[in-house]
Chains A and B, each alone.
Chain A
Amino acid sequence: MTSTTLSLRGVSRRFKDTVALDALDLDVSQGELVALLGPSGCGKTTALRIIAGLDNPDAGEVLVGGKSVTHLAPNKRNMGMVFQSYSLFPNLTAAENVAFGLTMRGEAKTVRIGRAQELLEMVGLPKHAKRFPHQLSGGQQQRVALARALAFEPDVLLLDEPLSALDAQVRANLRDEIRALQLKTGTTTIFVTHDQEEAMAMSDRVAVMNAGKIAQIARPDELYHNPASEFVAGFVGQMNKIPATLEADRVRVLDSHVDYRQSWTEQPGAMVALVRPEAIEIQNTAADQSNATVVARAFLGPMSKVSLVLRDGTEVSAVLTSAQSAEFASGSLVRVSVKPDQYLVVAA
């Protein structure tokens, strides 16, 4: 069993009339990478800043290794942080930036130099030690910032949207590098992002936040396939909303029937089925058997997205292999169905 390294207990934070965090609880195990994912204003950055000590909670506690650090200044917490914007000290070289945390801890110069070089090698910049930040690209600057945050072996690594200022290619590469480095060092990490793909690709667990609370925290696959609420389902991955009806103890979605589960919704009546695009099946059929029209087809490489309109006007997207999608031209009448048990039903 792994020991809990970082915990938030009932952490609340209010800015005037806005509740940024509402009695937030979170446990992160040793060496685990947990992403805080959510829309703007959901409180994820506030949570990170409170963990780092850059903001104070109105209530609640932050525990590291079981000890409260709630009232410790940020420089006493031994946490490394990488910021969204470039935060390297412009008057210091890359090596001096990496060694800064060690300098503040009174380490000997030889130790600092050795460790800075080691970390720069780890992030793939061994020959950039003497360069100033303005001589480095955005991706290189964030690599140095990562090395700087890891140099003094922090108890917790905090990443505040470190990839958001980078272009797509660099972003994808650095994403994999950060994860590899985190696994190698075994540092407990909190990663704040609004990019669900990033969160799903990098994290051991993803905490989806909404209105200052964690709506669901789970492994990425679990989150995707078993979302706990309509908000999580809508925020993680693409989701179709298809009208459904309750018939006795069963719910009818298009041509499928599923057993009604009380946990889905407490208000039987008009309902909505939330269906992933890959859970939609399409068949060419005779006009009188059809229930939808193909509107458009978008080629996405090995997969293609097919846009459809149901008879009642509901817009639906399906993701098929590109070979399968070739059968469905724009304007063709088709029969749409849903794979069994691959949807969530909520009140309309």
Chain B
Amino acid sequence: MKIFTRRQLPLTIGLFLATLFVLFPLVSATEFSLRQPATSNYGFANYIWFFTAEDFGKYLGISLGLAVVSAIILLVILVPTVIWLNLGGARFRGLVEFVSLLPLVIPVVALAIGAQTALPDFAQTDEIILGFMFAVLAMPYAYRTLDTGLRAIPLQTIVEAARGLGANWLHTIFRVVIPVVRSTVASALFMTLALSLGEYTLTSLLHWDTFTTWVTTMSQSNILGAIALSMFSLIAVFGLLLIISIFIRPTKSNVVAEEN
């Protein structure tokens, strides 16, 4: 039986090589993280090392909290903005697109210095400031994801139908629009969470400690432990996104609407 056609051959080879490219380092890192030089065996000693470390839970909690804060900030600000742009604010689209690209163009160092000099002192006394900064960093990706999703549905008709049926703006956004594009919103959420959980440069420049800076510090004393920690971070983020995706899985009707 033929598994693939001749036309699919280059695609299959490409896919296979890409899989190798991604999997090989992961498998190698996993193997490395399980090594126990003292006994020349494999085991979970490196994982147990960081799990039992004093500040593991503390910094993981901080990072997760900041990720949630940044995701909420982004959704609260960005979802209504993009809906408005697609309904009647089209003339501001260019300006918003330009602003949304700034975090990609401006170096993180400049962002950090800007935050330190422009923000009032009280805003710099708590690490929650990082939540706002992470939201800014995630904006280019989240904005484009939301905009593409909202452009793919008959937004104006749906909004007008909801309003005509008696829904106020809050009901229209939260009970009609977001459920219709929830897979898009979930994608924006994923990106924001993933970026927030893995952000290091800005955190380090602003002299705050999160899970990523803690991992860097810890890695200086135990290289195998650091690799085990990296593997854990990777799996934890992947697992978190998987759980969210299960909860926000689009219904078939959503998929059809967004495809139309």
Binding site for B on A (CB under 8 A): 52-54, 73-75, 77-81, 83, 85-91, 100-101, 104-105, 132-134, 145, 148-149, 152, 158
Report A-chain residues with C-beta under 8 Å of the C-beta of B160: 52, 54, 74, 81, 83, 87
- Is chain B's interface secondary structure helix, strand, loop, or mixed overall? helix
Given contacts A89-B176, A91-B180, A132-B253, contact A105 B161 (CB under 8 A): no
A75 to B252, CA, bound (A): 29
In the complex, besides A54-B160, A74-B160, A104-B171, 16 extra interface pairs with C-beta distance below 8 angstroms are: A75-B166, A77-B164, A81-B164, A85-B154, A90-B254, A90-B257, A91-B179, A91-B251, A91-B254, A91-B257, A100-B167, A101-B165, A104-B167, A133-B256, A145-B161, A149-B164
Chain B, residues 147-185, CB within 8 Å of chain A (1/0): the string is 000000110011011111111100100001001101000
Q: Please tell me if the beta carbons of A81 and B161 are within 8 angstroms of each other in the complex.
A: yes
Given contacts A83-B160, A134-B252, contact A75 B168 (CB under 8 A): yes
Give the Cβ gap from A6 to chain B, nearest Cβ, in Å. Answer: 15
A341 to B158, CA, bound (A): 51
A171 to B235, CA, bound (A): 56
Give the Cβ gap from A131 to chain B, nearest Cβ, in Å. Answer: 10
Closest-by-CB residue of B relative to A135 is B253
A75 to B164, CA, bound (A): 5
Binding site for A on B (CB under 8 A): 153-154, 157-158, 160-168, 171, 176, 179-180, 182, 251-254, 256-257
A298 to B250, CA, bound (A): 54
Report B-chain residues with C-beta under 8 Å of the C-beta of A52: 160, 164
Given contacts A85-B157, A132-B251, A134-B253, contact A105 B166 (CB under 8 A): yes
Report A-chain residues with C-beta under 8 Å of the C-beta of B158: 87, 89
Closest-by-CB residue of B relative to A79 is B164
24 CB contacts below 8 A, A to B, read: A52-B164, A53-B163, A53-B164, A54-B160, A54-B164, A74-B160, A75-B166, A77-B164, A80-B164, A81-B160, A86-B154, A89-B158, A89-B176, A90-B153, A91-B179, A91-B257, A101-B165, A132-B253, A133-B253, A133-B257, A134-B252, A134-B253, A148-B165, A149-B164
